[in-house]
Amino acid sequence: MGDQATENLSLDQVRDLANETFRACGVSDEARMVLAAIVTRSERDGPRSHGLRMLPVYAQSFTSGYANPDAKPVVTRTAAGALQGDADNGYYQHAASLAHDQLIEMARTNGIAAFSCKNCHHLAGLRFDVEPLAEAGLVAIGVINSLSMVVPQGGTRPVFGTNPMAFACPREGQAPIVWDQASSMVALMDIRMAAAEGHHLPYPAGLAPDGSKTTDPDAILDTRSLLPFGEHKGAAIAFLVEVLGAALAGGTLSVDNQDREAHGALNIKGGSTVIAIDPNRFGNPMFNEYINRISAEIIDNGDARIPGDGRLKMRARAMQDGVNAATDVLDQIRDVIKTAGS
């Protein structure tokens, strides 16, 4: 494969391009600012497959009528430690922004609190849902279910989505420790990006049309049958996410795709749950020392690194040098802006 043509953009330019795209699609000012920030952070920190490359997918969800560009989310307190959101067929992050301050206050009061949301879309990296809570001094776990394309271990047809989960915790004097991961071997957008860039995946991540495991991203996109990570272990995590995401929140199950199919969307109106824990309320005054000790055992331990820290290096480079965006992706985005805005 030859070198792909790219264009260097500052993070401000990335944000402006995302804003322009959402504005052309008629997205409300409040939601537009939230989503543009998510796209920018994805380009800054990774996964970049969820950054500018995702803008045409966001746009399709709005212009097809699948997602509501003028959503007015509602957040209701249902118990001392529970918030429930209805995203009004908009994106999860818009609803979560309305719940953010109250969720933190509830966690600090009760020691633990949760926000679940239904009737919501989600196309971003999950790390950005939990990182702000860790920046506020909380430990956070987030999950969301997604479009069915992961085959349970030993199965022949998809049951679960890539069903990601994310974790974040504060780290004294440094950026929080944050990681997110799909329940599948590889996230869907990473497979799409490999196909677009013309290379195979480093290991088998899905099924070919003949049912065999393959590294060919085009074959996997053809079957839409991804493999769970760690075989039965990843399938078990996908099940957990389906329960905590869809079942707890009242979102659409990964297998219930009829509405999605009618609009040709890449996501479902799933369910999301984030749990926030205040370590100061759990009786261990040495919490920060524990985190430091765990981290110290990883640092200088061969090639090991603290989960998520690789993205902090990406962040530093992007803030200084900007990001290199594929020219064909930028052309596609500019076409979307022109078409949606006309």
Residue 237 clears pLDDT 90, i.e. is over it: yes
Instruction: Confirm whether 303 is a catalytic residue.
Output: no
Distance CA 250, CA 269 (A): 10
Q: Any residues with CB less than 8 A from the CB of 160 and at least 6 apart, and which?
A: 145, 148, 150, 152, 183, 228, 235, 238, 239, 241, 242, 254
85 and 95 Cβ atoms separated by less than 8 Å? yes
Q: What contacts 24+ positions apart, CB below 8 Å, involve 81-85?
A: 81/106, 81/107, 81/110, 81/112, 81/113, 81/114, 82/113, 82/114, 82/115, 82/116, 83/113, 83/114, 83/115, 83/116, 84/115, 84/116, 84/117, 84/118, 84/249, 85/115, 85/116, 85/117, 85/118, 85/120
Residue 267 confidence (pLDDT)? 86
Ordered DSSP codes for 84-126: EEEEEEEEHHHHHHHHHHHHHHHHHHHSEEEEEEEEEE--S-T
Instruction: Confirm whether 272 is a catalytic residue.
Output: no
Residue 4 clears pLDDT 90, i.e. is over it: no
327 and 5 Cβ atoms separated by less than 8 Å? yes
Instruction: Confirm whether 190 is a catalytic residue.
Output: yes
- DSSP one-letter code for 251: P
Diameter of the chain measured on Cα atoms: 59
Residue with tokens 């249902």: 78
The dihedral over CA atoms of 179, 185, 187, 189, expressed in degrees to the nearest 10, equals 140
The single residue of 49, 61, 97, 225 carrying the catalytic annotation is 49
Residue 3 clears pLDDT 80, i.e. is over it: no
Query: What Cα–Cα distance (Å) separates residue 35 from each residue in 30, 122, 311?
Result: 9, 10, 20
Residue 103 clears pLDDT 90, i.e. is over it: yes
Q: What is the pLDDT of residues 123-167, one digit of tens each?
A: 999 999 999 999 999 999 999 999 999 999 888 889 999 999 999
The arithmetic mean of pLDDT across residues 35-58, rounded, is 94
List the one residue out of 228, 32, 241 whose CA is nearest residue 126. 241
- DSSP one-letter code for 52: G
7 and 327 Cβ atoms separated by less than 8 Å? yes
Residue 2 clears pLDDT 50, i.e. is over it: no
pLDDT tier at 49, thresholds 50, 70, 90 = confident
Q: Which residues of 305-325 are buried (b: 16+ CB within 10 A; e: fewer)?
A: ebebbebbebbeebeeebbeb
Residue with tokens 């594929």: 326
Residue 66 clears pLDDT 70, i.e. is over it: yes
Residue 54 confidence (pLDDT)? 94
Q: What is the pLDDT of residues 240-263, one digit of tens each?
A: 999 999 999 999 999 998 888 888
90 and 84 Cβ atoms separated by less than 8 Å? no
The single residue of 86, 129, 180, 190 carrying the catalytic annotation is 190
Residue 1 clears pLDDT 50, i.e. is over it: no
Structure tokens at 230: 């760690």
Peptide bond into 228 cis (omega under 30): no
The arithmetic mean of pLDDT across residues 42-55, rounded, is 91
268 and 252 Cβ atoms separated by less than 8 Å? yes
The arithmetic mean of pLDDT across residues 314-318, rounded, is 95
The arithmetic mean of pLDDT across residues 267-277, rounded, is 95
Where does residue 73 rank: exposed (0-12), middle (13-18), buried (19+ CB within 10 A)?
Answer: buried
When mean pLDDT is compared over 185-199, 200-214, 254-268, the highest value belongs to 200-214
Percent of all residues in the chain with a pLDDT value above 90, rounded to a whole number: 86
Percent of all residues in the chain with a pLDDT value above 70, rounded to a whole number: 99
The dihedral over CA atoms of 59, 65, 67, 73, expressed in degrees to the nearest 10, equals 130
